[in-house]
A and B are shown apart, each in its own frame.
Chain A
Amino acid sequence: MLDNKGYLLVNRQVVADDVPDFEYTPKKAFPGHFEVLNLKDEAATIRFFFDHIRQSRP
């Protein structure tokens, strides 16, 4: 999660179907809106993760 926004990277080689964006909010004070990125395999998933860190510069 980054600045109250969630990101879920899905490795489609393991997960059977594309996953749409969703919300997981366990408690009102802790909202979790997730953008889902369906990626073709593990290499693409790790690539996206590294690129995302470089773009967002935490």
Chain B
Amino acid sequence: MTYNGDFFDWPFVERRALEHGMNMFEEVGVRANEEGQYRGRVCMHMDCIYWVRRDSYLPAGSHGLKAVTKAKLGYNPVEIDPEDMLPMAVAKPRHMASYSVSDAVATYYLYQKYVHNFIFSLCTIIPLGAEDVLRKGSGTLCELLLMVEASRHGVICPNKQVTPRGRTHMGHLLESDTYIGGHVECLESGVFRSDLPTQWRLDPSAFQELIDRIDAALTFALEVESGVERAEVANYEEVRAAIVRKLEALRDRPVREEQPTIYHLDVAAMYPNIILTNRL
């Protein structure tokens, strides 16, 4: 096991070994796959940083080994400025020795205490090897879990969508034409239902902005989105006035208690979020 070994330890050892005429893959059967993850041919490489990122619930700013050790193992590891390492190796070799194993000890016990049991337990219900279960996104894991259940109950599932290769945009080859990299954040947690009143504190200036731009917004909705000329709409003024009235009411009384309307826009991320947050 390593901490960030996909990115640091393995490529470093691989490169230094090559310098001395040794091929790491031939020696120990570990090499990078096309995603830069170092995988073993006959053994596993478990990089604990994936567990920290996906499963530890630690905030994004606390994913360094020092912060994780403090939060999850409950002690402060010894620290040394990397710039001081070489002089110390020369001047105080024994002192340097305990510093240099500090990260190894923290990684080892982090793995033993948290990562190992968690990942291998998941392996009993998700049809993937441990190196994949550790690294795949929660969405993929959920999808596979659903597939297992579907297959068990004889439910037909649609094929996974595959984007055709070689798509172009204005003569340029596209690597991807979807938006990847969105993050879901939980702004507020609680029980939200359309029959339970909720407290609202609105920003009046935002409603004024919407009122000021009402004609442009309606024209866009009609002409661009629905393909109808604005002039053809007989009751335009009437509908416009009704919308403005509602916006003015919200603007003029911004602190209110209302029953919310519940929208769920991103069903694809719903299951991963239930799993990650234990909330719906």
Give the B-binding residues of A (Cβ under 8 A): 1, 6, 8, 10, 14-20, 22, 24, 26-27, 29-30, 32, 34, 36, 42-43, 46-47, 49-50, 53-54, 57-58
Would A1 and B77 count as touching, CB distance under 8 A? no
Q: Which residues of B contact A30 (CB under 8 A)?
A: 73, 75, 105, 109
Q: Is the CB of A16 within 8 A of B43?
A: no
Q: Which of B84-92, B129-137, B168-176, B262-270 contacts A (4 or more CB under 8 A)?
A: B84-92
Binding site for A on B (CB under 8 A): 13, 16-17, 19-20, 22, 24, 27-28, 42-44, 73-75, 77-78, 86, 89-91, 93-94, 96-98, 100-102, 104-106, 108-109
Which residue of B20, B75, B108 is within 8 Å of A46 (Cβ)? B20
Which A residues touch B90, using CB under 8 A?
14-16
Minimal Cβ-Cβ distance residue in A for B74: A27
Between-chain CB contacts (< 8 Å), 24 pairs: A1-B105, A6-B105, A8-B100, A14-B86, A15-B89, A15-B90, A16-B89, A17-B93, A17-B94, A18-B93, A19-B94, A24-B97, A24-B102, A24-B105, A26-B77, A26-B78, A42-B16, A42-B20, A46-B13, A50-B17, A53-B27, A53-B43, A57-B42, A58-B44
Nearest residue (CB) in A for B28 is A53
Contact flag A46-B104 (CB < 8 Å), given A19-B93, A36-B97, A58-B43: no
A30-B73, A30-B105, A57-B43 known; A46 and B89 CB under 8 Å?
no
Cα A47 to Cα B42 in complex, Å, equals 19
**Residues in chain B near residue A47, CB distance under 8 A:** 20, 22
